[in-house]
Amino acid sequence: MVGDGFRVSNFFPQGYNMPQDRLSPFFLLDYNAPVDFSPREQPRGVGVHPHRGFETVTIAFKGKVAHHDSAGHSGVIGEGDVQWMTAGSGVLHKEYHEAEFSRTGGTFHMAQLWVNLPRKHKMEAPRYQPIKKEDMAQVPLPDGKSEARIIAGELFGAKGPARTWSPIIAAMVKLAAGGEARFDLPASYNSAMLVVEGAANVNSSDALTDHLVVFRNDGEEVSVTSSEGATLLVLSGEPLNEPIAAYGPFLMNTVEELQQAFKDVAAGKFGVLED
Ligand code: MN
């Protein structure tokens, strides 16, 4: 559990003994497979905590999350929405089930991705991008029955609305039963695909529900088919190739920068946020 509101599996960096930068610029993926939460008056979640040096990207498949941060940003994301928060120089934030969802209870299905920032952008001012499902570029696929929604970067000839600090492609691909999708991802990028619903066959390998496919960097072509239908989160990004110093909620380049982050939180430099 992360707090009492997110029951997650960590696919990386801890999950599979991959090198810490194997999927750079993506540093962490916590996946909350569908779980039923009982109704509760007091929303479950994670209380006030700091972040510096990266972005938290929360992707809602089912259920609703409410976010508040010390930079004055807040918002609620629901089914199909994405919240792209740049912690940059530092924020305090809290992440809870949205009040009404908490009261009624129900299925909760989320992912949180940590996107590392290039050294030159680690201390940018905090930024908050609420990206609603309908804001994403929606693309019908050539098989005539499947579709993609582009969150960031360009795929299937369409561009997503998210602004990023390094080249990134993020998209949801919804394959109909018997559907297929073909696309290219740069071989120099690190790429992965999370099977959110259903099951698929990816470049001749089976990819089952709640599994993460990690691509070798040895070609560009991706071919995905699904007999039962599938929803896939596609992630691809140009590696940063910079040293990583990670501790708890901070993601920097050096140990000294981590120590500075702790000092700055203690000195109140991340602002104020009430729990
Ligand atoms: Mn957080």
Tens-place pLDDT, residues 78-90: 999 999 999 999 9
- Start and end residues for every CATH 2.60.120.10 domain found in the chain: 9-133+243-266, 136-237
Q: What is the pLDDT of residues 37-83, one digit of tens each?
A: 999 999 999 999 999 999 999 999 999 999 999 999 999 999 999 99
Query: Cis peptide leading into 13, omega within 30 of 0?
Result: yes
Distance from the alpha carbon of residue 74 to the mean position of ligand 1, in angstroms = 13
Burial of 238 (0-12, 13-18, 19+ CB in 10 A): middle
* 1-21 pLDDT tens trace: 999 999 999 999 987 788 999
Query: How many angstroms separate the alpha carbon of residue 50 from the centre of ligand 1?
Result: 7
By CB atoms closer than 10 A (0-12, 13-18, 19+), residue 83 is buried
In the predicted structure, residue 238 carries a pLDDT above the cut 80:
yes
Say if CB 167 and CB 211 are below 8 A apart: no
Segment 197-227, tens digit of pLDDT: 999 999 999 999 999 999 999 999 999 999 9
Residue pLDDT, tens place only, 144-163: 999 999 999 999 999 999 99
CA of 112 to the centre of ligand 1 (A): 9
135: three-class secondary structure by DSSP: helix
pTM: 0.97
The third-level CATH classification (topology) of the domain covering 9-133+243-266 is Jelly Rolls (2.60.120)
Distance CA 195, CA 231 (A): 6
- In terms of Cβ atoms closer than 10 Å to its own Cβ (0-12, 13-18, 19+), residue 120 is exposed
For ligand 1, the distance from its centroid to the CA atom of residue 56, given in whole angstroms, is 7
Q: Do 162 and 83 form a contact (C-beta atoms < 8 A)?
A: no
CATH number, domain 136-237 = 2.60.120.10
CA distance 124 to 117: 9
